[in-house]
Structure 1
Amino acid sequence: MLLAHDIAGTGPHVVLLHAGVADRNMWDPVMHGLTQVFRVLRPDLRGFGETPLPAEDYVDADDVAEVMDACGMDDAVVVGNSLGGRVALELATRHPARVRELVLLSPAYPDLPPSDALHDFIAREETLLDAGDLEAAVALNVDTWLGPAADDDTRAALARMQHRAFDIQLAAEADADVRGAAVGTPRPVAVDLDQIHVPTLVVSGAHDLDHFRAVAERLVAALPSAEHLDLDWAGHLPTLENPDAIEPLLLDVLRDDPTVHAP
């Protein structure tokens, strides 16, 4: 199954991988600027946006490699936020020739156990979904993942994306129940950080959950070619919270500007 996606611009290749609370539309605020300089591919992973969640198990990284093939992208700089950061690391592990550079915004990483705060969020979300209170579950996600820089329009946009993801995923679960089968789930990919040697920028937010700040520290310590940028204004989704700050940062990083992190 080919992921729903769009591609725009000309120039060096960039792939944008969305967070698990969103879909490819989370990149809307920075697309105009990026596509003036780069050829940008942004897919919806399975169960998000316009990509359904089929019954079979799958590997997100293989899906991304397939859509890159369909778009004629041999390799790219891969930018991933949260879930998208995890998928970017998996892509660099399973298909290393496809990844020229990594930019990881508040990335997820499967080998670090959830912190108490993250475990509490997961439990609260599951309780609300089990009770059928979809609106409260959406509100919980918006409150948890957006930092203080996000305005009301941004909160509404994230709520729409999260609601869409819940609709797709819950419909897949209902269909699986009818068929007496399990819903399709991503197969785990063992990420070997010692084998990822491409230049990597790991971005964390001061207002994010402690788990993701710990992930950033873990990745920077383990990845041979990584550096860390902590944003004092950011939560978990900096591209949505303050695109006017993130767009020039991404442009400079992707253009390999050596002064981008200079004081």
Structure 2
Amino acid sequence: MTDLRLHRTGEGPAVLWFHGYTMDSTTWQPLWDRLPGWTHIGVDLPGHGGSPPIPPGLTLTALAGQLAEVARETGARRVVALSFGSMSALQLAIQEPELVDRLVLAAPTLAGTPNEDSARRRYQQLAMLHRLTGPGEQLADLWMQSPPDIFKGTERHPELRAELRAVVARHSWAELGNRAMDALTAHRHTGQDLALITARTLVLVGDEDMPAFVRNGELLRAAVPDCGLLTLARCGHLPLLERPDAVAPLIAAHLR
């Protein structure tokens, strides 16, 4: 039995939800409120929310194995994932294709593809600040600054931005101290890997997202056998959170 923290709400067929880096399953509630008729199961990924810290040496394949346990235990065959969570969802769909029938990926993140330089620099700055000050609100404020434009789209939505800051501010940041993310991000998704995915897949990209993630969307459309790609207007890197009213009908139609 997995030790990952799960958040459940609703009734109906089960859907697994994988959040973005430094977030947790509480961020999904506005979308869940707009998607009745499903059992929504938010998975707090390792090191996030109520789940245990990321153990040094945890690989993406091992994490996908944990998520496969969740899928088997809950009977969920549908997955919705955002940003860092989408990397985990992709590995699950590659590694255990029989467990995933429907897949929604927003701000798609492929392991081993070039990231935004500004994101890499910001992570280095976060590690340095963490060494000086430890965890706390100062890391949340630095992480949410642009560039990189991870949270830039939330500037249109002050209430959402404040709610996300509260979530990020309680993140432990333990992975900055023990470099536990190194093994997770060392993986590489190839075109051959992506061709193994049998799930009907929908990729959602904000029209104001960073170029690396727009490229990832095109790569997925080309490599995943059954994959559609939609670009969402007036959205940045977090379209599922920025515009839940717009994306909920798209997700509902795809999951059905």
Pair in the same fold by TM > 0.5: yes
Go from structure 1 to structure 2 and tell me whether the alpha carbon gap of 1:100 and 1:220 turns closer, same or farther (over 3 Å shift): same
Go from structure 1 to structure 2 and tell me whether the alpha carbon gap of 1:184 and 1:240 turns closer, same or farther (over 3 Å shift): closer
CA distance in 2, matches of 1:122, 1:208: 18
**Contact 1:142–1:155, Cα closer than 8 Å, also in 2:** no
Counterpart in the other structure of 1:145: 150
| 2:230 partner SS | strand
Deviation beyond 6 Å, 4+ runs, structure 1:
none
Go from structure 1 to structure 2 and tell me whether the alpha carbon gap of 1:54 and 1:113 turns closer, same or farther (over 3 Å shift): closer
TM (norm. structure 1) is 0.82
CA distance in 2, matches of 1:130, 1:224: 44
**Structure 1 residues not aligned, in runs of 5+:** 177-181, 256-263
Aligned residues: 243
Larger radius of gyration: 1
Counterpart in the other structure of 1:154: 160
1:10 is aligned to 2:15: no
CA distance in 1, matches of 2:56, 2:174: 15
Go from structure 1 to structure 2 and tell me whether the alpha carbon gap of 1:245 and 1:214 turns closer, same or farther (over 3 Å shift): same
Counterpart in the other structure of 2:39: 39
**Contact 1:52–1:168, Cα closer than 8 Å, also in 2:** no
CA distance in 2, matches of 1:148, 1:9: 27
Go from structure 1 to structure 2 and tell me whether the alpha carbon gap of 1:53 and 1:132 turns closer, same or farther (over 3 Å shift): same
Q: What is the alpha-carbon root mean square deviation over aligned residues?
A: 2.4
Go from structure 1 to structure 2 and tell me whether the alpha carbon gap of 1:168 and 1:153 turns closer, same or farther (over 3 Å shift): farther
Of 71, 74, 86, the match for 1:68: 71
TM (norm. structure 2) is 0.84
Go from structure 1 to structure 2 and tell me whether the alpha carbon gap of 1:6 and 1:186 turns closer, same or farther (over 3 Å shift): farther
Alignment of 1:132-211 (within 5 A): 132=133, 134-143=136-145, 144-146=149-151, 147-148=153-154, 150-169=156-175, 173=177, 183=180, 187=184, 191=189, 192-211=193-212
Deviation at 1:23, TM superposition (A): 0.8
Alignment of 1:1-263 (within 5 A): 1-34=2-35, 36-53=36-53, 55=55, 57-58=57-58, 59-71=62-74, 73=75, 75-132=76-133, 134-143=136-145, 144-146=149-151, 147-148=153-154, 150-169=156-175, 173=177, 183=180, 187=184, 191=189, 192-255=193-256
**Structure 2 residues not aligned, in runs of 5+:** none
